[in-house]
Structure 1
Amino acid sequence: MKPNFKKASLMLTGILIGGKLFAQTADTTNNSSNYVQPFSGGGSFRTWSIGVHGGMLSPYTIFGNMNNQDFKSPHEQIGYGAYVKKQILHSFGIQADFFRGKLEGAVGQTNPSGNTPTSFKTDLNWSAALSANFTLANINWRHKQGFIQPYLSLGGGVLAYRPSVTLADGTTERAGSDLREFFIPVGAGFKINLGSAVNLDLGYQVNFVNANNVDGYKYGLTNDKFSYAHVGLEFALGKSSKPQLATHNPVNSMRTEYLWEAQRLQSQVDAQKAENQKLRSDLDATNANLSKLTTDSDGDGVVDVNDKCPNTPAGTKVDGSGCQLAKPEVKVYVTEEDKRVVKEAIKNLEFDLGKATIRPTSFPSLDKVAQLLVDKNFSLKLAGHTDNTGSADLNLRLSKDRAESIKSYLVSKGANASRIEATGYGKTQPIATNKTAAGRQQNRRVEFTLY
């Protein structure tokens, strides 16, 4: 008895492990989100399915000890069947079952009358039962869809069987016709999703018969029972676009709805941000336009859009176009003292040799000229001259650069640049001979003319 049962257990374990591995491989290709709108009716799912199965029938069950059975040594035999199931809720369905097969056992209990049975064979010609099927763990909060659904089943039905018993003297006693008794099938197992419409069904069922003669031998007061370990396939009926109700994870649909709603709200937020940005740009443009209509950058009382003479000095009187009003012409007279200041500057003016760089010894005299230009608003003409040493182009450029250098210095001290003219004449206007060093020294000069 024990070796046979161990063989059966090992075979079933191999089937379970192989089926699980196969299901895991198949599940990697069935990566659908399995979405159905939450709280949808049954019409959104496939609720009908059919199944076929085969396995081993045995007088041995996980409940009780074989020493308390009519026969102590179970012999496993083949059984097979089919079912039709209607899934009503995610976790509950009604299943109509049918199966048939054989039961065998040996080493019967000793009969006090001496007529001891040695073995039995029972044909399970048919059975029909209606069971409640409870699907477990198809609601998953961590994954989109689990590929294994454990289940429990409980039902009741009719079993038609015909037993035969072999006695110790070799004679066989066989029932003349099928016996029919009520029985209660109690089962457990799990289904592995092989695809959107196919499940691998692995289960174990104990059948409690309301009679003590399933093995053809009434011994003791307990009713007979037997087990059925099976492997099979379940096929979902209906449109392939619909998921199975029993394998569907409603939490995934709720998660999908949440993600879609979050995405929709994010899109609205992004659109609102873009609209707000556009409104901000329009507002900034409007404010900029308004600012142009009211801004008076130079403070002359004329807004910039109408100011034809921008950046007039502060305090300057302007006309309606923002341009300075003509000042009454004031006669400027150059005094002898003014001439002396200029003459002193000319006398002290020195440059680096061959360059337009003013030597610092010239700065005090030039400062006085600059102050004179600021105080009296004089105009000044600077004329640069050289001797005849070098080319004409070089002398012309050097004379011009020296005049410009003096102008830049005077402007840096506050003089009005618009009232200073700097010109270079090179060696074209000598005032002494260039044949002597003294003459050439006189010709290297910058003339200051006040007016």
Structure 2
Amino acid sequence: MKISLIKTLPAAVVALLIGNAVHAQAPASSSAKLNTWSIGVNAGLLTGLSPLGGENDFSNEKASLGYGLYIKKQFTPYFSLRLDGVRGTVKGDNTKAFKSGFTPTGGPSAYETKLNWSGSLNAVVNLFNIDMFKKEDVLQLYVSGGAGLAGYKPKITTASGTADYSNKDIKELIIPVGAGAKFRLSDNVNFDLGWTVNFVDGDNFDGYKTGRGNDKYNYAYAGLEFSLGGGKQLAFHNPVALTYDEALAAKQTADALKGDLDAAKADNARLRSEMNDLLKDSDGDGVADKLDKCPGTPSGTVVDGSGCPLVVPAPVIKEKVIVTEADRKVVNEAIKNLEFDLGKATIRPKSYPTLNRVAALLVEKNFSLKLAGHTDNTGSMALNLRLSKDRAESIKAYLVSQGANASRIEATGYGPNQPIATNKTKAGRQKNRRVEFTLF
């Protein structure tokens, strides 16, 4: 391989490496539900002129018609592999001097090379998106590089006439390096403008060997690309814009959660105020002010369920307390029917009838009762401990209002510390939100 071709190989290798690097860094999921295959047709001008690699063998290169097609596989929004095919004719003559001032004499006066076919595999790298905040761009710039084969047959014109340079088609390696711009006309159609310099591995393309280096030819074209499939094109898919949308959605979600948290804090403050007002006991006799019919009782005075002093000391029960199955049934029914307002310690009216039967049982048999409030793990530990304690105290206050002895009722809140089911399911959390009654 000659020196000029060796100099062109790094450009193709770099293009391939860049494409592979971009491909490796892009998430595999980015191509989901997006079109990745497309075909293209194009037509344009083939010339032997090249701004890369020095002068050619003929001083006056002419433009001739060329046409091509390709099939492309898009791996990420930035990288694809494209299989190109091009045909056409390349012409030139020596009717003027080279840029260096040299006037060719003695050799062929003109050439015409028929490019029967060329095929190359190219790595195409999309350089950037024009608008980073659009999910789909309308303009895309790209570069390409690859390698392939060309089959061609040159004819040269000398003083004696026109003759084939070779009796058979010549097949040689080509290195195409190009750039272009693509415009998205619709979800499935693009307008493509491109320019490719093809470096030939030999000095045979124009039928004249001068020792100036390997030949090259250009293909400047315009065409249409058709995306295969019913979705949008991965090539115009903009992951930067999607990342921005995801970040914006996350911020909106965070703002909504903050609003919910502020509302929950306000509800908790109101709940604490209501519970403090409900459980306030100014004279310390164990009966809340709202239920105390004898406020201001001196400290240490034994009172009944209404907060009034007992005229006769409560009788001391010496016999052993026996809790029957019927007693437990009354308590279990009260537990099953017990309901509170959501996030509050307010007992719902449907729970009153069964609680009334528990109060009557406590009065009749002088039982002692332990109330243990429990919650699930939703919310903070401090809030759950306070809510479980408040609910147990609310039940105690109600039972006392129905005549039960406040000194025989113990109310305790355990929060989420004693679950009886998993907190990972809705049903489990429902079981953990409870108040346990223990007679003794």
- Aligned residue for 1:182, secondary structure, equals strand
The one-letter code of the counterpart of 1:157 is G
Q: How does 1:10-409 map to 2 (within 5 A)?
A: 40=29, 42-64=31-53, 68-107=55-94, 114=106, 116-138=107-129, 141=132, 143-173=134-164, 175-240=166-231, 243-289=232-278, 294=282
Change (3 A) 1:171 1:192: closer
CA contact (8 A) 1:191 1:202 kept: yes
- State TM-score, norm by structure 1: 0.51
- Aligned residue for 2:261, secondary structure, equals helix
User: Deviation string for 1:8-53 (max 9, x for gaps)?
Assistant: xxxxxxxxxxxxxxxxxxxxxxxxxxxxx97625444322221111
Cα displacement (A) at 1:145: 4.3
- Aligned residue for 1:136, secondary structure, equals strand
User: Deviation string for 1:200-219 (max 9, x for gaps)?
Assistant: 22111101111212122222
Cα displacement (A) at 1:250: 1.6
CA distance in 2, matches of 1:153, 1:287: 75
CA contact (8 A) 1:91 1:138 kept: no
Change (3 A) 1:256 1:170: same
The one-letter code of the counterpart of 2:158 is L
User: Deviation string for 1:140-192 (max 9, x for gaps)?
Assistant: 65554443222111111111112112223444446433221111111111222
CA contact (8 A) 1:138 1:246 kept: no
Cα displacement (A) at 1:307: 9.3
CA distance in 1, matches of 2:135, 2:84: 31
The one-letter code of the counterpart of 2:64 is Q
RMSD: 3.5
CA distance in 1, matches of 2:115, 2:229: 33
- Aligned residue for 2:251, secondary structure, equals helix
| Stretches of structure 1 lacking an aligned partner (at least 5 in a row) | 1-36, 296-302, 309-451
Change (3 A) 1:257 1:169: same
User: Deviation string for 1:230-279 (max 9, x for gaps)?
Assistant: 11222222341xx4332222222222222222222222222222233233
Q: Which runs of 4+ in 1 moved over 6 A?
A: 108-112, 303-308
CA distance in 2, matches of 1:97, 1:131: 8
Give the aligned partner of residue 351 of structure 1: none
Cα displacement (A) at 1:77: 0.9
Cα displacement (A) at 1:194: 2.2
User: Deviation string for 1:42-82 (max 9, x for gaps)?
Assistant: 444322221111111111111255xx422111110111111
Cα displacement (A) at 1:111: 7.8
CA distance in 1, matches of 2:92, 2:195: 19
Cα displacement (A) at 1:137: 0.8
CA distance in 1, matches of 2:174, 2:162: 30
Change (3 A) 1:89 1:306: closer
User: Deviation string for 1:380-408 (max 9, x for gaps)?
Assistant: xxxxxxxxxxxxxxxxxxxxxxxxxxxxx
Change (3 A) 1:304 1:175: closer
CA distance in 2, matches of 1:304, 1:209: 101
CA contact (8 A) 2:38 2:73 kept: yes
- Aligned residue for 2:146, secondary structure, equals strand
CA distance in 1, matches of 2:266, 2:274: 12
Once the two structures are overlaid, the 10-residue window that deviates more, 102-111 or 131-140, is 102-111
| Stretches of structure 2 lacking an aligned partner (at least 5 in a row) | 1-25, 98-102, 284-288, 295-440
- State TM-score, norm by structure 2: 0.53
CA distance in 2, matches of 1:239, 1:100: 31
Give the aligned partner of residue 15 of structure 1: none
The one-letter code of the counterpart of 1:130 is L
Cα displacement (A) at 1:290: 5.0
CA distance in 1, matches of 2:277, 2:62: 98
